Amino acid sequence: MNLIKKVGFLLVSAALVATSSVAQNVQRTPQGIKYVTQGMDVSVEFYSPTIVRVYKTPMQTSCNKESLVIIKTPETTPVTFGENGKNVTLSSGAVRVEVNTETGGIHFFDKSGKRMLTDKDYGTQFTPFDDAGVPAFNVRQAFLLDKDEVIYGLGQQQTGKVNQRNQKLFLRNQNMSICIPFIHSVKGYALYVDNYSPTTFLDNPQEMSFDSEVGDCADYYFIYGGNADGVIAGVRDLTGQAPLYPLWTLGFWQCRERYKSPDELCEVVDRYRDLKVPLDGIIQDWQYWGCDSNWNSMKFQNPRYINKMGDPEYMKYLPNGEDKNARYGTPRIKSPKEMIDYVHKQNAHIMISVWASFGPWTEMYQKMDSLKALLHFDTWPPNAGVRPFDPFNPVARNIYWAEMKKNIFDLGMDAWWLDSTEPDHLNVKDQDFNTPTYLGSFRRVHNAFPLMSNKGVYEHQRAVTTDKRVFLLTRSSFLGQQRYASHSWSGDVVSDWSVMRKQIAAGLNYSLCGIPYWNTDLGGFFAWKYNNTVDNVAYHELHTRWYQWGAFQPIMRSHNSGPVAVEIYQFGKKGDWAYDALEKYTHLRYRLLPYVYSTSWEVTDKAGSFIRPLMMDFPEDKKVLDMDTEYMFGRNFLVRPVTDSLYTWQDKEQNGHLKDMSKVGKTDVYLPQGARWFDFWTGQALEGGQTIQREVPIDIMPIYVRAGSILPWGPAVQYSTEKKWDNLTVRIYPGADAEFTLYEDEFDNYNYEKGAYTTITMKWDDKERILTIADRQGSYKGMLKNRKFNFVVVEPGKGCGDEDTMAFDKSVSYRGKKVVVKL
């Protein structure tokens, strides 16, 4: 169709809609409609066959919004227009939308006609609001859900609830709470309200609503997926895909608040290597810069780090209250560069803490202040005059990275811990939110602060090099942050059994927002309940159970606040129950690395998920819809963390005591309907749809593998790349057909984006007991051209648990061409 005919067609179509008796004020657009109702201008537009944007503004107001979250532009989508009674209809073939132009109601249906969601009649409200001298609105948007509909999402909350129905939550990012105005329904759709101001979420029998403190428009996206995986694929399509982390990030990380010198940090790496306990990452937490007035100078100015103890010019930077004589003398490691190089020589990697705020002594404080890019309210640490910077300002982001690069990255630093990206806000006052940012008041953009903080670091490092993948650990988050290689953890949670259990629900809801990487401080951060000492035997039990769970989190990282030190050797020695259990699960994590790395590739390539609430794989099983104790790790492992104390107790003085450990405790495990399950530790097969009592001695966390699974079992190593995967054991769990794709690449650069990787797909025909290994796809420099696969069909006593040696059913040499194995 030429341009003249196309324009004429659109004009005629618009005229036909405008003359309809139903839609007098409706104007048709290429992929939607515009109309006026209830004093609002409304636009309904298909972004794709499964994504619909609804955009509302008060009449006669202009709002040229540029979203911080949405990166997708509307793709060409054929739309069919029509009428249904008093409603105007729009259909893409996958989603039908019905609009009542009199009441403002908007109804979303799937292609079969099943109602998904209703934008409530008269449910949008704009209330004039003075936003720090700028005319704006409080924006309220209300919806109707089915009575028994289960919804998830809203980020990461500390309520312990999986189902987010029937509650009121104030969505404003803070330590331990990641707040996203996003819900994911068990019916197979999601709703994202594109507003970054503090927002009150309310759900009751009358309605579900999002009431945002400030905005110029009501702007939301309906995302239809049909199932949870489809929803998450839609979220990633809309907000960005998650890049691949380097392999070494998926090993074990050790951290403490804090290592106080390069010697102390390097000695930890040495101890792990001497003990033959695997380790890939070590983290330098805060105050390497010195005192609080010099907060986050992005320089190593603490005299312990630059061999300047005793030098008056540098002693002023020594952190407040720190013993000036501790570890005094000639250090083994004399500079930050030597520290980083030493870690690398030990085949480990190092991350460093960088904050989103600056102390008044720092050059960065002065630079940001002159740019008017400081947010003037109290942040951590208290009473030090520290102020957050404005990450919404592109020049401020440039300055921020330039200082990081010059003083830290160029020394060889591997990864970044972007702490306090809410940011911390002390002594909160209403007027604090009037603080101006580059994009308006702080109130207007508050919840997007972590998104923009991570954006600045990710984009700048990507621009500098493609040889080192970006890895960001950050305490807060917002929708879309996955595209910046951002990994969040659940914040500074207290070491307590009930708190540990709440983290499961927090992680499940966060994952269902479509952001794949998340973990917790293993053992909790604040060990107040245990007198802040690792010597408390009751803490040993809690830490052991939390640590076991960590082996099945996307990133495995042990961390606690001072004075608690949680390195493995703080829990005794070989033969001691806590030490042995910690060592066992560290080794287990490394044996699972081929599985974990391949799952990571699925996250990147197919919008997959590491943490999979059971509703993702068993939506028809009503018992799992509100399950807050279990989840799938990837598509094969059912994980049930032990969240109760079974072997220790505490007295009123908080001293820990052992119970009788010969009496083995038990915990409930629900095995979902629709599958058979193999006990990972014993190989026993059990039918789904039942709750069992699993014995859980201190070194056993319940782990089950779904029948119809193929699991690669990696070599025993001390760090992730110590040995090639040229002699892999492959465990087959029979009872159903199975498929698994083994992914490999160069492990730490972006060549995979150019196609430099390989995949090997294995398929199990359960009826014929035949395993087919397909032709290897792809190539990369240094890839394995020849290898050996050793196959084990799991049964009781064979191919179970963490055993290192086993009788193979068959071994084959593989040279990249199809192999068929009868087992």
Q: Which are the catalytic amino acids?
A: 419, 422, 492
Which string of b and e fits 477-497 if b means at least 16 CB within 10 Å?
Answer: bbbbbbbbbbbbbbbbbebbb
DSSP, collapsed to helix, strand or coil, labels residue 76 as coil
Q: What percent helix, strand, coil does the chain show, rounded to 5?
A: 25, 30, 45
Q: What DSSP state is assigned to residue 48?
A: E
Which string of b and e fits 707-728 if b means at least 16 CB within 10 Å?
Answer: bbbbbbbbbebbbbbeeebeeb
Cα separation, 163 vs 24, in Å, equals: 41
Phi/psi at 231 (nearest 5 deg)?
Answer: -60, -50
Cα separation, 124 vs 38, in Å, equals: 9
- Nearest one of 625, 715, 640 to 677, comparing CA atoms: 640
- Nearest one of 530, 546, 611 to 228, comparing CA atoms: 611
> How far is the CA of 219 from the CAs of 140, 606, 633, in angstroms?
11, 28, 34
- Nearest one of 406, 399, 369 to 387, comparing CA atoms: 369
Cα separation, 321 vs 248, in Å, equals: 36
Cα separation, 276 vs 284, in Å, equals: 22
- Nearest one of 525, 519, 523, 518 to 494, comparing CA atoms: 525
CA 226, 232, 233, 238 dihedral sign is positive
For 310: left if phi > 0, alpha if psi spans -120 to 50, otherwise beta; the answer is left
Q: Give the N- to C-terminal CA distance of the chain in Å, as an integer.
A: 60
Which tokens go with 19? Answer: 């003359």
> How far is the CA of 823 from the CAs of 179, 545, 709, 766, 770, in angstroms?
50, 37, 15, 10, 6
Q: Please, are residues 482 and 242 in contact by the beta-carbon 8 Å criterion?
A: yes
Cα separation, 199 vs 692, in Å, equals: 42
425-434 contacts at long range (C-beta below 8 A, 24 or more positions apart) = 425/174, 425/377, 425/378, 425/379, 426/377, 426/378, 426/379, 426/380, 426/382, 427/377, 427/378, 428/377, 429/377, 432/377, 433/132, 433/198, 433/213, 434/131, 434/132
Q: Please, are residues 27 and 36 in contact by the beta-carbon 8 Å criterion?
A: no
Cα separation, 84 vs 97, in Å, equals: 11
Cβ-based neighbours of 746, under 8 Å, separated by 6 or more: 752, 756, 780, 781, 782
The number of CA neighbours under 13 Å toward the Cβ of 399 is 24
Rg (CA), the chain: 28
